[in-house]
Each structure stands twice: as C-alpha cells, then as structure tokens.
Amino acid sequence: MKKRTRIPSAGPGSSADFQGGGVSQALKNRMQERIERFGEARVLVVGDFILDQFIWGKVERISPEAPVPVVHVQRESYMTGGSLNVANNIRTLGGTVYPCGVVGRDREGRMLVKVIRREGIETGGIVFDPKRPTSIKTRIIAQTQQLVRFDREKTDDISDADRKKIFQFIRHRLASVDVVIIEDYGKGVIGPQFLKEIIALAKKAGKPVLVDPKDKHFSYYRGVTVITPNRKEAVTMYENGTARRGASLDEVGRGLLKRLGAEAILITVGEDGMMLYERRGARTHIPTAAREVYDVSGAGDTVIAVLAMALAVGAKMLEAAMIANLAAGIVVGKLGTATVQVQELQEAVRQCALDVKTSR
C-alpha cells in the first residue's frame, strides 16, 4: 500500500522564495516536484452532480419575431459539471478521484453516467434517485460567444436515504484518500447536519476538508481546513454574520478565518488574482497568472482541485495556492468548463514571474 502523505500545517513561505519581486528558482523547483507527484494524490469529492450541455452553432441573422439572434445549431456536446468537473480536473492531472453525489433515473442521468465513464472517473459513489431529476445546465454558444444559459434542476434537500448511501461510501473510501473536497453548488446534497458528520469523520481519520462554498451556507463550514470563495461569496458570508458593511478584504478574510476556525481562506479576486489568509497570521497576495481571460466557467473547480492535489502530495499551503493560481490562469484562457494538463502547469511554473507579497 502506498504510504500516505501527511498534510503540512499552514505557514508562510520563506522570504528567500520571493526575492527581487519574483519567484525564486528554489520555489519553482519545489512546485515542479509537487506537480510531478500529482499521480499519487487520492481525493474524495462530495457534492452536487450536474450535466453540462453545450449547443454550438452560428448566428447569421436576427429573428423577425423578437430582437434576438437566430442560432443555426451545428452540434451538441456534453461534459461533467458541478462537483464532477472538480473530479475531472483531478483525473486529468493524473490523480485518483472518488466522487459521490446523486443523479436521477432519467435520460439526463444516463447521459451523465455515460460521460463520467467516458472521462475515466470512478462511478462507485453515484446514488440513483428515481424521484429526483438530474441537474442539467444548457449553454448555447455561437461563434465562440455564449449567448444564454438555462438550468433545469431541483434544489430541495436530497432524501435521508440518499444521504445515508453517500455517507456509507465516504466511510468506506476515507481511509484510502488524502483529502476530502466538499463542492457545495446549493443543489441539495450538502446540508448542515450531513456536513457536520462528514467533517467529524474526516477529522477523526486525519483527513483535511476543503470546501468550495455556497455563500448562503456559511454556517455549515465551521471546522473545515480550507474554503475557497470568490470575492463576492467571501464578502456576503462575512456580512451575513455581522452588522458591518463595506469591510476591507483583509477584514473579511481574517474575520472568516477566525469564525470558521479554519487553517486557511483562499479568496479568488478576479483580475487581481488571489488572497491567502492563514491561521498563523500570514497574508499573501498572489497576482493573477492569466494572460487572457476567455471564459471563467469552472475556474473555481480547477482551483480547489489543484489546491487539494498539491496538499495531498506534501505542498505547504502557500505553495499549493500558487500552483492552483497558475492552473486557474490556464483554464480561463479556454472555452467552457475546461481542465488543465500536467505539461501546461509545468510550463506555467517555469515561466512564473509573479510578484507575490507575503505579510502579517
């Protein structure tokens, strides 16, 4: 059996790693070593399963019925979405992933399982519910421009029977994984008591829990290891728990960190990159690595997937966040819910010249 890797405690990087306003070669070497070991990472992903449908076509005229474009459909494609996009990111980067969630016993559910198998992802954690429709997001794209998206879904809580099946799968797999990811898309899988039980089980097993949060569910996440909100989610979560409005990002980050009792908060801040707040007091701004933003769909999924994999193979929190930032910079340059290849990530590390600033 492969030796499990202990997740290091959060801590800032050495000042020598960022001398001269750039990233040192020593740090780049450590990041490359982590990426080369991604094949060792074993990750459990719990969350909402979604089928992503893309309808591709051309627009050559405006409808005479209404001021909207007429799309001449040329093809359709399907991809895994929601927590399954996180799973696909991990699989693409060579890791082993065990996703668990719920699909309906419907046409969309059959299609989603077919896509999961096509992508080479483990299917043992799928729970089929004949009373629940499969969540599907349909995007209509013409000349590479997304025109509209429409969602078909049920967001009520899943049944107790479904939760019991998921929990049994988690209990069965937990000993063989390094990290647990909670992907909360607000589609009914993640509930407060259920998440509390997962966190308690993971802590007992010594497994870190990373959460891609839903801002309305902030109270659920107390005791997790890391959360990865975007700026809007972070501000909303902070303000919902206080009477204060207009707080600075630093106040938000440190406030969330304290209230959750987490080891770290990694906030994505769009064109400004990321802000990492660690329990030991370090605050780090990691500038964006994106050269051109083409589509931000799924970027958050890539961030948490790569962060988890880096931690699973022994990276410090800051190293893991930097690798995740580089991965996000790659994926936003692609159309749709794309993934990152190992070679792309290694090249991004080689070319990395970010002005990372760490302070307390």
Active site residues: 301
Q: What is the dihedral of CA 83, 86, 92, 97, to 10 degrees?
A: -70
CA dihedral 90, 338, 190, 322 (to 10 degrees): 60
Taking phi first (over 0 means left), then psi (-120 to 50 degrees means alpha), and beta for anything else, what does residue 66 get? Answer: beta
| Contacts (Cβ under 8 Å, ≥6 apart) of 25 | none
**Residue 360 burial (CB count, 10 A):** 8
CA 225 from chain center: how many Å?
14
Torsional class of 199: left (φ above 0), alpha (ψ -120 to 50), beta (otherwise): alpha
- The tokens for 349 are 């590390």
| Euclidean distance between CA atoms 147 and 138, whole angstroms | 11
**C-alpha closest to that of 306 among 359, 268, 251:** 268
